[in-house]
Structure 1
Amino acid sequence: MNAWLTRIVTDRRSSDVHRDHINATATHRRVMSLFPDNAGPDPRARFGVLFRTEDSTTGPVLLIQSNTQPDLTELPAGYAHSHDSRSLDSLLDALRPGLRVHYRCVASPVRKPGRTTRAHYNLPAAVPLTGAAADEWWLRQAATSGLQPLHLHSQPLDAALAHKTGPDSKDPRRFRHTRTRFEGTAAITDAELLRARITDGIGRGKAYGCGLLSIAPAHAAAAP
């Protein structure tokens, strides 16, 4: 298994960083610019790319997970204070049932009501979840990801806002993904399942900075 985690400490003074930070589509394009072109119809899936941003004192930190090491020389001048990539293979190979880990995931929890319910209550296809309903969603996701949560702390985050220009450039399409950060400790119940969910991501909005599950052994520092 090839898996890489890249950490880019951005410089908040950069106009490129500011532009990327306020538009999840721009962040997606920035991330994908670090990987080879001509990768087929879904390059994000081809390279196993998942990402999220986290705040720091110097500016947003961009975390990228992928199955191919990104080319960080493609970052604009002045974009980053520092950056590094490291292999996750030894971490993933060491997973085993019973091992306790720290976990962190920024996800977009939703409920998908049936057609009759949507029509009766005039609901969208995906209803965003917050609070206790989001926690319950996460516990279900964890259980189907080979994790038994022992502790959970959740925090609502600003929604991921994306702007795409359609065929008519005067009518941009707008997307909004409600986000919650879930973190805590858990025991591994199924190592193979957990490896698959780490590489595949969890939930919707993966192209907009949601779904990246980070783990670290519980005796080590918390997940990045």
Structure 2
Amino acid sequence: MPTTLTRIIVNRNHRQARSDLANRPGLHKTLMRLLAHPAGPTPRKTGGLLFRLEPGLDPVLLVQTADTPNLTGLPGGYGTTDTLDLTPLLTALTPHLPVRYRITAAPTAYRPTGAPPDPATGRRPRGKITPLQGQEAHAWWHRKATHAGLHLTTPPDTVSRAFPSPDRPAPFYKLTQFDGTATITNPDQLATALREGIGKGKAYGAGLLTLAPA
């Protein structure tokens, strides 16, 4: 099954589209309709659904799926679509290849809560998920990029992205866009990161990594 990337130029005049742009969980529900064969207890993960909203006068949604998307699942008039098979990109990954990248991610870390150890196991609770910003977010991305098979060759440009949602998910993710250049160190690890996404908040528009020639 080909991994695909669908570009949706969103129609701001469409009622459902306007609602989705202001409600990230609602947007997730709409995009789940693109999965041709949703299955299992984690259909988003099984279907490889990742997405990123590129803001602007004409907002663009980049939606990745593990199979050819069911475009008839979108409401009529939602937007114009174009789908690309990512197989050539995934098979062309080679060590030392320079690339440009973009990812909107949810940098987080577990912080100790001060709770006592569990009497039965003696282990302390894992802690509370805390959003990272500034230098901590940069360090988070450096670690994730290295694990994903990328060597960052320039400091990333970062932009904080709004997280529109009337009902904050738990935990509430703060999104940061990272842009920069890198070279490929491990094509297999990078292919996995491209297919599966990076970090938390994937159901809310985080984790989709895209590449372009440098």
Would you say the 8 A contact 1:198–1:212 is kept in 2?
A: yes
For the Cα contact (< 8 Å) 1:160–1:178, is it kept in 2?
no
Give structure 1 regions of 4+ aligned residues with deviation exceeding 4 angstroms. Answer: none
The alignment yields a C-alpha RMSD, in angstroms, of 1.9
Q: What TM-score does the superposition give when structure 1 sets the normalisation length?
A: 0.85
Write the distance in 2 (CA, Å) between the matches of 1:92 and 1:174.
Answer: 33
Per the TM alignment, residue 162 of structure 1 is displaced from its structure 2 partner at its CA by 6.5
Give the C-alpha shift of residue 174 in structure 1.
Answer: 6.0
Runs of 5+ unmatched residues, structure 2: 116-125
Question: Do 1:54 and 1:62's aligned partners in 2 also have CA atoms closer than 8 Å?
Answer: yes
Whether contact under 8 Å (1:160, 1:209) holds in the other structure is: no
| 1:29-82 Cα distance to aligned partner (Å, 9 max, x none) | 111112236512111111111111111322x211111111111122212211x2
| 2: CA distance, partners of 1:178 / 1:141 | 17
Local SS of the residue matching 1:136: helix
* Distance in 1, Cα, partners of 2:167 & 2:170: 5
- Residue aligned with 1:137, SS: helix
Identity %: 38
Code of the aligned partner of 1:184:
G
Write the distance in 2 (CA, Å) between the matches of 1:37 and 1:162. Answer: 29
CA change 1:38–1:188 in 2 (3 A) is closer
Opposite residue 77 of structure 2, the aligned amino acid is: G
Equivalent-residue separation in structure 1 for 2:165 and 2:144 (angstroms): 23
Classify the secondary structure of the residue corresponding to 2:191: helix
1:127 aligns with 2:122: no
Q: What secondary structure, in the 3-state scheme, does the structure 2 residue paired with 1:183 have? A: strand
Distance in 1 (alpha carbons) for counterparts of 2:56 and 2:88: 27
Mapped pair 1:153 → 2:154? no
Which residue, out of 187, 190, 193, partners 1:194? Answer: 190
Q: Mark the CA change 1:110 to 1:160 in structure 2 (over 3 Å): closer, same or farther.
A: farther
The match for 1:98 among 96, 99, 110 is: 96
Identify unmatched segments of 5+ residues in structure 1: 165-172, 219-224
The alignment's TM-score, normalised by the length of structure 2, stands at 0.88
